[in-house]
Structures are given as structure tokens and as C-alpha cells.
Structure 1
Amino acid sequence: MKKEVRQAKIEQLITQNEIGTQEELMDVLAQEGIKATQATISRDIREMRIIKEPNGSGRIRYTIFKGNSPSEEEKMYAAISDSVTDVTLVQTMNVVHTLPRTANVLSAIIDDLKKEEVVGTIAGYDTILVISKNKEDAKIMNDLFNKYLRIGRS
């Protein structure tokens, strides 16, 4: 099966179903007659920019991160205000603590913006490591996080 067809089916399935793991996705694809290895699914998830986010009942589900809209900066500011609980500047990095299960969404937004002050991010369950190329860029990002963190607390 062609990658484009498989990925279109994956998008349809995660939009219509609450799928939260690669195993669940592989099972649903198999039910649709599409056989794919875990490595293929993992690659598709990365290429399609599929992220995990909580649904209304607290269960984690896959969704496709949509980026490059004109309001991505506002989305980042809102995500900082809504989810960041603390930020610590460490040399050329910012350690950003978030509410549980929100780190990967904010990290994806930051990555998508391709800010010149950010070399890359690493996200976990409730922590993001924002890596900058120098102390000045890290300070700019720290100031940005702190500005919108305070807005969320007021």
C-alpha cells in the first residue's frame, strides 16, 4: 500500500476514533485491511506530526498537530498561559514545567514556530527542555515564558 493512502487512512481513523497508542492504531488499521509494522506506524506518526492530547474524559488520544496558521504565536502564548507552571533558566536551556499531559502540545507549537532563539525542544509528560544556541537566546525565551506565565496567574 502506498504511504499516502495509508497516511490518509490513519488521519481518518484518528479523527473518527479515540486512538491513543501505536498498538491501537495498528489494530484499527488491520481491521481496515492495512498491514503495517510498528516502525512504519512510528515513522508515519512523526511525518504526519501526530501528537497525543487529553480528551474530555482524561484519556490520551492521537491528534494531528496543525501548524503554520497566522495565529501560531497567539497559540503559543495561550498555551504558555494555560499550561506552564514554572520555568527555570539553566545556561543555554529553559526547563519548562507544565500541567500533566500538556508538554508535547506546547513543544510542538514551539517547534513549529521555528523561533530563531530555539535550536530544539524535548518534551516529556509535564516538562519541556527548550534548547537555545547561546545564553542570550535562552534569556529571551525565559523572559517570554515568564511574561505569559504571569498573565496566566493574574
Structure 2
Amino acid sequence: MKKSERIDLIKKILVEQDIMIQDDLVNALLDLNIEVTQATVSRDMRELRLVKVPAKTGGYRYALPESNRLNTDAEFFKSVVEEIKKKGNQLAIRTSPGSAMLLKHRLLTRFEPLIFTVLSDDDTILLIATTDATAEKIYTSLSN
């Protein structure tokens, strides 16, 4: 199997399965009769610049970086946002544990012109929008 084919297969596996550790990916490839070593998979993972993101089942899983992700912002928001409160030009957003920094990055990427600043910790975000109207626009987008 060519390296490019193996890389494409790894991308597909990451979308379909929760890969928590490198051995999970090695085993998934071996299950598909793709002969790989842990060192090869480690190099492939480094080349793909995989990141750890919260898994729906708890813990963390490997995922493609933002530029290669297949899921949409809407899917991501729905999967990590637990509660949103709005007051004036401020949004208080509670996320699943470990998701706030990832969500902060996506919010800044998507809504940067509408945002004055964003503060976050492990599972909470305080977003201050430029106006009450822009806060409402962001709130509506996240709520849908």
C-alpha cells in the first residue's frame, strides 16, 4: 500500500472511530490487513499533525487538525456546547470538559469581526461581542 493511500485510510478511521492511543490506530489498520508498525503510524500521525480532542465517551481521542476536519462548525458546536447564557453583549458558554479552548479557537475563526474578546478555561468561555446585536447574532448561530 502506498503511503498516500495509508494516510487517506487513517483519515477515514479517525472520522469513523474513537482512536484514543496510537495502538488503537495500529490495531485498526491491522484489522484491515494493512501491515504497519507503531513507528510508521507514529510518523503518519506526526505528518497529519493530529490533535487530541474530547471524545463523546469521555477521555480524549485523536482528530485531524482544524484545516483537515470533516465536521462542520455546527456539528462541533452541538457536540461540545452544554449551555449558553446571554446578557447584553456578553455570552457565557459552558462546554464539555476540555473543549473550551478548541471552541474558543473556532469562535474566533468564525466570528472574529463580531468579537471584542474571548476568555476561556477548561470548560467555560466568556465571549464579549462588539455590540448587543452582534452578541445576539453569535448566540442565535450557536443555539441552532
Q: TM-score scaled by structure 2?
A: 0.52
Q: Does structure 1 residue 144 correspond to structure 2 residue 141?
A: yes
The structure 1 residue matched to 2:89, chosen from 82, 92, 106, is: 92
Q: Is the 8 A contact 1:75 1:109 kept in 2?
A: no
Q: Deviations over 1:107-149 (max 9, x none)?
A: 11111224422233222111111221110000111111211xx
Q: Structure 2: 5+ residue runs without aligned partners?
A: 1-21, 23-50
Letter in 1 for 2:123: D
Q: Does structure 1 residue 102 correspond to structure 2 residue 99?
A: yes
Structure 1 residue 66: deviation in Å? Answer: 3.4
Structure 1: distance between partners of 2:116 and 2:91: 12
Q: Deviations over 1:86-106 (max 9, x none)?
A: 100022111011111111111
Partner of 2:131: 134
Q: Is the 8 A contact 2:95 2:124 kept in 1?
A: yes
Partner of 1:79: 76
Question: What do you get for the CA RMSD once the two structures are aligned?
Answer: 3.3
Q: Is the 8 A contact 1:52 1:104 kept in 2?
A: no
Q: Deviations over 1:47-97 (max 9, x none)?
A: xxxx86347996669999534x7x89x632111110111100022111011
Aligned pair in 2 of structure 1 residues 130, 76: CA closer, same or farther (>3 Å)? farther
Q: How many residues align structurally?
A: 97
Percent of aligned pairs sharing the same letter: 17
Aligned pair in 2 of structure 1 residues 79, 141: CA closer, same or farther (>3 Å)? same
Structure 2: distance between partners of 1:121 and 1:129: 6
Q: TM-score scaled by structure 1?
A: 0.49
